[in-house]
Structure 1
Amino acid sequence: MRILITGGAGFIGRWVVQRLLEDGHQVWILDNLSNGRLENIKEFEGKKNLMEVIIGDIKDQALLNELFLKQFDICYHLGASINVQESIDDPATTFENDTVGTFHILEQCRKHGVKLVFMSTCMVYNRAVSFRGIMEIDPIKPASPYAGAKIAAENMVLSYHHSFGLPVVVIRPFNTYGPFQKTGGEGGVMAIFIKRKLEGKTLDIYGDGSQTRDLLYVEDCARFVAWAGYSDRVNGEIVNAGLGRDISINDLAKLIVKDDSRINHIPHIHPQSEIAKLLCNYDKAEKLLGWKPQVRLEDGILKTEQWIQSTNLI
């Protein structure tokens, strides 16, 4: 197929690109490099299936008008502002990128009959209240402008399915980690913790550390994202993906550093937007896509640590 991926030079986007290329599709990447980096996709240079890398913005309507003339079969829309604290500090930028930008992509997909896979987030949920984990029908809560912008975009995406019959799917991966994730302030907790461990620094935990995360290895996530585009069974649906196992931030820190003296608790920067318990129920993904995670948390930590040790990219 002919596929456009926005945010394809980002952390998850890079792995989705790899999966799509391995599956034999022709791939175009659109990224403004606000979160992504060209180094992430450098190894794909020269691959005959990578058709073009466009440095540009999803809000640039003239660019989109020209780009969508290439007659794509699927658009994987991963391009977004992704930082919760930045959304609190500057809600307008997150809204413009995540909601308005998604609207512009939607309009192009509607005009050209392109299936849209919309990357949302587990951060739209309230919290897990049972051991079954969070299901797609469970309550949502816009606890940050980031979550609010994603929820608004989700609703627009689904409205195009109901109003125009556009094939769309909203996907909500849980906390994704692995190689190529940034290890600084914009990175995920896993990458930051491993980097600080390797540097001999303390692992700083926001709040009391009792909050839990469901950590999904990035190659499992990329397989889920790709398959959501391939299947008509998820059209018009919201679908979760996660490990199906949660771990407290305290226990994660101990698992990584194995030395309580190197763990430090600091005041939370946005306690009002914290989600106390994130645990994914991925039954729907397994039923409709035949997808389930393959990489155990302990194995994923090892893979990620080996990658961070081996690179100077971060």
Structure 2
Amino acid sequence: MNVLVTGGAGFIGRWVVKRLLDDGQAVWVLDDLSNGRKENLDEFVDHPNFREFIVGDIKNEKLLDELFEKNQFRICYHLGASINVQDSIDDPRTTFNNDTLGTFYVLEQCRKKLVKIVFMSTCMVYERSMAEQGITELHPTKPASPYAGAKIAAENMALSYYCAYGLPVTVVRPFNTYGPFQKTGGEGGVVAIFIRNQLKGDPLKIYGEGTQTRDLLYVEDCARFVVESGYSDQVNGEIVNAGLGRDISVNELADLISEGQVLIEHVPHIHPQSEIQKLLCNYQKAEKLLGWKPTVDLEEGIRRTREWIRTSHLM
């Protein structure tokens, strides 16, 4: 199949591209490189099914029109987005334009050409939950940041196209994803940042008290979930979670990664108002509809990520 991946030069996008190529699909990537990196795709440029990497903006309607007109895509995996919570608080306009308006432009092309779209959302849309069985797709949403608000708006637009036009649409909400090729600086890569600091001998810095928990999903499991959501009609019109089904506090994560070799420090939280205290995924719906479940546990995922950071000299 001809497949388009927006945001395909990003961390998760790169692994989605790899999975699609491994499955024998013909892949085009559109990315403006605001978050992604061209070198993430370097190993694929000579692959016979890697057709084209276009540096461009999802808000460029002319570019999108030409891409969709020329290539007869069957599936669009829409991962292109502004993803930083603090950036969305500082500059909500950019996040809204990229995540909501940009999604509308992609949806319009998919509608015109009847292309299935898998929309990448986030677990950050959920309201706080202390439920031990984990957060299901029926759990209330509560946008605690403009990033989460923009994603919910885009989700609703995507699902409206399923209802109004019969467009095959799937909304995926992966929980906190980590692994090789994640940036080792900035927000969103707590595992990568902790590992880099541990390898350098630097302190691991925790925002706030560190009691907040995260459900950490290894990136290859995440990519398999995203790709298979595109293949299956069972999840058309559905919102589907993916996670490990196990949460860990940031304090416990720091202890696990530090191995007692470096200091652990607590620093003031940069956006406490947008923190979600407990994130634990219930992925039963993905298991039921897609036959998907995670295969890489946290300890193995950390080992693989540490090895990649060490051998990539990113310390």
TM bin (shorter chain)? over 0.9
Q: Secondary structure of 2:194's partner?
A: helix
Q: Which residue of 1 aligns with 2:260?
A: 259
Q: Which residue of 2 aligns with 1:272?
A: 273
Task: Please give the alpha-carbon distance, in whole angstroms, between the structure 1 residues aligned to 2:269 and 2:60.
Answer: 36
Within the alignment, does 1:41 sit opposite 2:41 as a pair? yes
Does structure 2 retain, via aligned residues, the 8 Å contact 1:115–1:229?
Answer: yes
With structure 1 as the length reference, what TM-score do the two structures score? 0.99
Q: Secondary structure of 2:53's partner?
A: strand
Within the alignment, does 1:18 sit opposite 2:23 as a pair? no
Task: Please give the alpha-carbon distance, in whole angstroms, between the structure 1 residues aligned to 2:162 and 2:313.
Answer: 44
Task: Please give the alpha-carbon distance, in whole angstroms, between the structure 2 residues aligned to 1:199 and 1:156.
Answer: 44
Q: Which residue of 2 aligns with 1:211?
A: 212
Deviation larger for 123-132 or 194-203: 123-132
Q: Which residue of 1 aligns with 2:89?
A: 88
What is the deviation of 1:128? 2.5
Q: Describe the superposition over 1:238-263 as per-residue Cα deviations: whole angstroms up to 9, x where unpaired.
A: 00000000000000000000228610
What is the deviation of 1:45? 1.2
Q: Which residue of 2 aligns with 1:31?
A: 31
Does structure 1 retain, via aligned residues, the 8 Å contact 2:128–2:278?
Answer: yes
AA of the residue aligned to 1:100: L
CA separation of 1:196 and 1:246: change in aligned 2, threshold 3 A: same
Question: Any unmatched runs of 5+ in structure 1?
Answer: none
AA of the residue aligned to 2:179: G
Q: Which residue of 1 aligns with 2:133?
A: 132
Q: Describe the superposition over 1:18-51 as per-residue Cα deviations: whole angstroms up to 9, x where unpaired.
A: 0000000000000000010011010001111001
CA separation of 1:201 and 1:72: change in aligned 2, threshold 3 A: same
What is the deviation of 1:202? 0.3
Within the alignment, does 1:293 sit opposite 2:273 as a pair? no
Mapping for residues 54-65 of structure 1, pairs under 5 Å: 54-65=54-65
Mapping for residues 226-265 of structure 1, pairs under 5 Å: 226-259=227-260, 262-265=263-266
CA separation of 1:60 and 1:99: change in aligned 2, threshold 3 A: same
Question: What is the aligned-residue identity percentage?
Answer: 71
AA of the residue aligned to 1:68: F
Does structure 2 retain, via aligned residues, the 8 Å contact 1:121–1:173?
Answer: yes
Task: Please give the alpha-carbon distance, in whole angstroms, between the structure 2 residues aligned to 1:112 and 1:164.
Answer: 12
With structure 2 as the length reference, what TM-score do the two structures score? 0.98
Task: Please give the alpha-carbon distance, in whole angstroms, between the structure 1 residues aligned to 2:76 and 2:56.
Answer: 15
RMSD: 1.0
Within the alignment, does 1:197 sit opposite 2:161 as a pair? no
Q: Which residue of 1 aligns with 2:222?
A: 221
Deviation larger for 126-135 or 25-34: 126-135
Q: How many residues align?
A: 314
Does structure 2 retain, via aligned residues, the 8 Å contact 1:254–1:260?
Answer: no
AA of the residue aligned to 1:49: N
Q: Secondary structure of 1:136's partner?
A: coil
Task: Please give the alpha-carbon distance, in whole angstroms, between the structure 2 residues aligned to 1:126 and 1:261.
Answer: 34
Question: Any unmatched runs of 5+ in structure 2?
Answer: none
